[in-house]
Amino acid sequence: MAETRKTRVLIIGSGPAGYTAGIYASRAMLSPILVQGIEPGGQLTTTTEVENWPGDTEVQGPDLMIRMEAHAKAMGCEVISDIITSLDLSKRPFEAKADSGADFIADAVILATGARAKWLGLPSEDAFKGFGVSACATCDGFFYRGQEIVVIGGGNTAVEEALFLTNFASKVTLIHRRGELRAEKILIDRLMKNPKIVPLWHHELEEVVGDDNPKGVTDVKVKHVETGAITEIPAKGVFVAIGHAPASELVKDQLELHHGGYVKVMPGSTATSIPGVFAAGDLTDHVYRQAVTSAGMGCMAALDAERFLAEAED
């Protein structure tokens, strides 16, 4: 028989937004339950050094997230290893079902499901996922010691991944569809100074080429975006770093969303289009998408939920 848990506040997601909401909701004596999802600790667990978390000149992403989880638990937040598979926001209290079979009934919900890596959608990319094609340099970079690899994208993630991959690879080609990167200046500086990295401007990945036995990537075909000219580059690894999409599947037919699937919140607040449902972090934010801004929104969501519950009980 599936377990049913009642809670004042259900927090969905365990990135900086979720754990910060957990800390604040616990300190407000709301005894929150936080469900971690498939990626406990969120996106920062897929990176190495974080250099812009205030108070830490440098901290490893996974370490920071372990500390956040411990902090939330120490304040009284119940952290559950499970995935929410459906959420009914049509009436309050809200109902959520989890992968384990557990049900949750909550007076308020804080959505902090963040974002996930985007893929290019090429059949050859799909065919070699896990066999040379990756979206996580931290996870897979080690496999490419002394090899040539390519990174696709021109944002902070692509540049950081390219820099990180120089620890292993003999050469990293950064393939970008424009002639200008959108990454931060400090990262671009490091990239340009790194002798192992060669930028390839105005090109898109056309096809991942590889062998079947043993399965693995050997080359990539890239296309010049203006001339259409195809070039083949040797590569054992292909790291796709073209951004992230908000994880709003649970609520896409229930809440108002922005173009691109980001959950709409009221200006200066984390209130969504349904009273009692709050959203924080990358799920709502296509502009800043930082750990510190996500944590800030997690704090706001817990304070908003506390105020909502206090008013609802008056």
Asked about 77 being catalytic, the answer comes back as no
Amino acid code (one letter) for 14: S
Tell me the C-alpha distance between 112 and 263, whole Å.
10
CB of 119 to ligand NAP, least distance (A): 9
CB nearer ligand FAD, residue 7 or residue 113:
113
Tell me the C-alpha distance between 136 and 49, whole Å.
14
- Of 5, 52, 202, 225, which lies in the binding site for ligand FAD, with binding defined by CB under 6 A? 52
CB nearer ligand FAD, residue 250 or residue 277:
250
Residue 270 binding ligand FAD, by CB under 6 A: no
- Of 8, 171, 176, 289, which lies in the binding site for ligand FAD, with binding defined by CB under 6 A? 289
CB nearer ligand NAP, residue 91 or residue 185:
185
Asked about 107 being catalytic, the answer comes back as no
CB nearer ligand NAP, residue 100 or residue 194:
194
Tell me the C-alpha distance between 263 and 281, whole Å.
10
Long-range CB contacts (within 8 A, 24+) of 225-232: 225/177, 226/202, 230/206, 231/203
CB nearer ligand FAD, residue 89 or residue 291:
291
- Of 9, 11, 23, 44, which lies in the binding site for ligand FAD, with binding defined by CB under 6 A? 44
Long-range CB contacts (within 8 A, 24+) of 223-230: 225/177, 226/202, 230/206
Tell me the C-alpha distance between 87 and 243, whole Å.
26
Helix ranges (H only) for the chain are 16-27, 61-74, 123-127, 137-140, 156-165, 185-193, 291-312
Pairing of strands 215-224, 230-234: antiparallel
The stretch among 140-148, 192-200, 279-287, 306-314 that binds ligand FAD (CB under 6 A) is 279-287
Tell me the C-alpha distance between 196 and 185, whole Å.
19
Tell me the C-alpha distance between 77 and 69, whole Å.
9
CB nearer ligand FAD, residue 37 or residue 199:
37
CB of 182 to ligand FAD, least distance (A): 14
CB of 112 to ligand FAD, least distance (A): 5
Residue 199 binding ligand FAD, by CB under 6 A: no
**Annotated catalytic residue within 88, 99, 126, 139:** 139
Q: Which does 158 bind (CB under 5 to 8 A by kind): ligand FAD, ligand NAP, none?
A: ligand NAP
Site string for ligand FAD, 218-247 (x = CB under 6 A): -----------------------------x
Q: Which does 237 bind (CB under 5 to 8 A by kind): ligand NAP, ligand FAD, none?
A: none
Tell me the C-alpha distance between 83 and 77, whole Å.
17
Asked about 299 being catalytic, the answer comes back as no
Nearest one of 103, 140, 95 to 240, comparing CA atoms: 140
Residue 291 binding ligand FAD, by CB under 6 A: yes
Structural contact between residues 250 and 114, judged by C-beta atoms closer than 8 angstroms: no
Catalytically annotated residues: 136, 139-140
